[in-house]
Structure formats: structure tokens, C-alpha cells
């Protein structure tokens, strides 16, 4: 199993550009999440999904959109990139509910907006 796979690993965007961060998991997890991590800070939740077709906002959703058409994939869309979105983005998944609360993370996408 590959676990949680994120692409790309690095990206530089110009202000106003758009991009999609890809996330895929092969563990058949129902629950998936997008976090961002700024230097010296903990991770903050952007969006999450408890199953295909169901998404909801986290703590810092502004400027982002998500979709969940399959159990495996959970892409994060930045429509109009701003310098404040410079960060490291982590996708995560869990089996969910009371069964397991352990979260599995991808290796991250380092995004710089200039």
C-alpha cells in the first residue's frame, strides 16, 4: 500500500493563478482531510470529507475548494492564489468513527505564492 499520496511536492504560483493539489489514498478510508502548516505552527484544518460526495469546511476554508467524487481522491483547489496561501499542505485520511482515530498523512506539498 502506498498510503496517502500527494502531488506535486513543490510548486511556485504567481498571485492570481489557480492550481489543484492532488491527494489519493489506497487504504479505503472514508474520512479525508486537508491541513495547512505555517512555519512554527501546528496544522490547521482547511476542509474535510466523511465520504464520497460529502465535504465540509474546517477552520480556515477561505480561498479553497474541494470535491470528493470517489473514496480514493480528495483534491484541493486554489482559485486565485494569494501570498497568504504560501504554506505546506498536508492531506490525511482516517478509517473514521470509533474504529480508528489514527490519521495517516501524505508527505506534503510546499506551495509558494509570489
Partner 1 sequence: SQKIEQNSEALNIQEGKTATLTCNYTNYSPAYLQWYRQDPGRGPVFLLLIRENEKEKRKERLKVTFDTTLKQSLFHITASQPADSATYLCARINGSSNTGKLIFGQGTTLQVKP
Q: Rounded to 5 degrees, what are φ and ψ at 83?
A: -55, -30
Q: Which of 19, 27, 45, 52 binds partner 1 (CB under 8 A)?
A: 45
Residues binding partner 1: what is the number (CB under 8 A)?
28
- Binding of partner 1 at residue 40 (CB under 8 A)? yes
CA 109: distance to chain centroid?
9
33, 34, 71, 112: which one binds partner 1 (CB under 8 A):
33
Site for partner 1 in 74-113 (CB under 8 A): 90, 92, 94, 96-98, 101-108
- Whose cell is 477552520? That residue is 59
* Residue 50 CB neighbours (<10 A): 16
DSSP state of 38: -
Residues 6+ positions from 42 with CB-CB distance below 8 Å: none
Q: Which residues bind partner 1 (CB under 8 A)?
A: 4, 31, 33, 35, 40-45, 48, 50, 58-59, 90, 92, 94, 96-98, 101-108
Amino acid at each position: 500500500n502506498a498510503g496517502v499520496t500527494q502531488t506535486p511536492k513543490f510548486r511556485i504560483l504567481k498571485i492570481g493563478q489557480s492550481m489543484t493539489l492532488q491527494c489519493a489514498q489506497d487504504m479505503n478510508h472514508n474520512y479525508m482531510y486537508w491541513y495547512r502548516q505555517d512555519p512554527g505552527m501546528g496544522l490547521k484544518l482547511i476542509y474535510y470529507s466523511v465520504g464520497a460526495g460529502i465535504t465540509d469546511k474546517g477552520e480556515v476554508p477561505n480561498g479553497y475548494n474541494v470535491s470528493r467524487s470517489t473514496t480514493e481522491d480528495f483534491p484541493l483547489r486554489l482559485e486565485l492564489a494569494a501570498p497568504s496561501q504560501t504554506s505546506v499542505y498536508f492531506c490525511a485520511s482516517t478509517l473514521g468513527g470509533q474504529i480508528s482515530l489514527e490519521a495517516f498523512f501524505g508527505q506534503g506539498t510546499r506551495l509558494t505564492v509570489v
